[in-house]
A = this chain, B = another copy of it.
């Protein structure tokens, strides 16, 4: 029906709906690159003109314009701005996005795949730590793009940062403050980011001819604030007391501040602290946390753009990307001026 009625129909619909012929054509061809609101306006105009839209509505109802964003945990506020970036891209391109908070491992992969099928998903974004085997299993079913956490050895595109050099730069900065006993608080080593930040930390120490001391490397099994407070407090009360902490997450850095406050030591006078991620918490804490900024919104946005290109089978080369980080110096590493005229920092 649509093809036969072609030009005259399109112009009449355009006239009635105030929507361009190009967009109407996209609605007719069930392109995902159309807002639901726009699609409905076109359908309303068609019905007013006496056309039967039943078939078009049925096709649209089944179209797969759904992206699933899989994250390991909503507890870590690190993910919220990444999701915002991805959503901005999804909306701009006429896709819906739903968030799935689940691990993807050998035990859960089948449930996850069943969910993808049931929801008729078009593609997957993930910031999760997924094994090679499971990544390949997913990639065989649907287009997938990894964001932040990734496996560069596979042929699956990703958008991330260079964790090794970001960590090395942060530790070099702490060394430049004259600190020599720099402890490291790290997250679970199954994550590439944790392995790479450890590598960067060790490289910086080696370059400065400082011997590594395993007793001042705190290796935690999850991003847990209370566990980190306990571990730091214990280290501060031991013979191995450090003069600085480098934390692979701002949550750990906040825990280091809390633990230090429970002793007679002062931040940054006795203990300098540098975090990672630049989540909102890092400026909420007192003293505010010096940290490595990740371009979170951009990481999400570009991963999603890449995913949509994969879904649309665009013939341009899809390259994986490493985005720049920057060190944001705040009060945990420099002398505080407690009374200031400025309400915001």
Binding site for B on A (CB under 8 A): 35-37, 40, 60-66, 68, 73-75, 77, 79-80, 83-84, 87, 96, 98-101, 107, 110-111, 114-115, 117-120, 225-226, 229-230, 233-234, 254-255, 257-259, 261-264, 280-281, 283-286, 338-340, 342-344
Contacts of A234 in B (CB 8 A): 343
- The CA-CA distance from A261 to B345 in the complex, in Å, is 12
Q: Is the CB of A286 within 8 A of B259?
A: no
Q: Is the CB of B74 within 8 A of A80?
A: yes
Q: Is the CB of B339 within 8 A of A264?
A: yes
Q: Kindly list 12 other residue pairs between chains A and B, CB separation below 8 angstroms, not including A36-B114, A98-B115, A229-B343.
A: A64-B118, A65-B118, A66-B115, A66-B118, A66-B119, A96-B111, A98-B98, A118-B120, A119-B119, A254-B284, A262-B339, A262-B343
- The CA-CA distance from A87 to B74 in the complex, in Å, is 12
Copies of this chain: 2
- The CA-CA distance from A262 to B257 in the complex, in Å, is 19
A284 contacts which of B74, B84, B118, B281 (Cβ < 8 Å)?
B281
Contacts of A63 in B (CB 8 A): 118
A99 contacts which of B100, B114, B117, B255 (Cβ < 8 Å)?
B100
Contacts of A343 in B (CB 8 A): 229-230, 233-234, 259, 262
Closest Cβ–Cβ distance, residue A302 to chain B (whole Å): 19
Q: Is the CB of B110 within 8 A of A37?
A: yes
- The CA-CA distance from A174 to B262 in the complex, in Å, is 26
- The CA-CA distance from A87 to B110 in the complex, in Å, is 18
Selected A-B contacts with CB under 8 Å, 10 pairs: A35-B111, A66-B115, A74-B74, A74-B83, A74-B99, A98-B99, A120-B120, A230-B344, A233-B343, A257-B286
Contacts of A96 in B (CB 8 A): 111, 115, 118
With contacts A98-B99, A118-B63 taken as known, whether A111 is within 8 angstroms of B37 at the C-beta atoms is yes
Closest Cβ–Cβ distance, residue A344 to chain B (whole Å): 6
Q: Is the CB of A338 within 8 A of B100?
A: no
- The CA-CA distance from A343 to B264 in the complex, in Å, is 13
In this complex, the member of A68, A87, A258 whose beta carbon has the largest number of chain B beta carbons within 10 angstroms is A258
In this complex, the member of A64, A98, A100, A115 whose beta carbon has the largest number of chain B beta carbons within 10 angstroms is A98
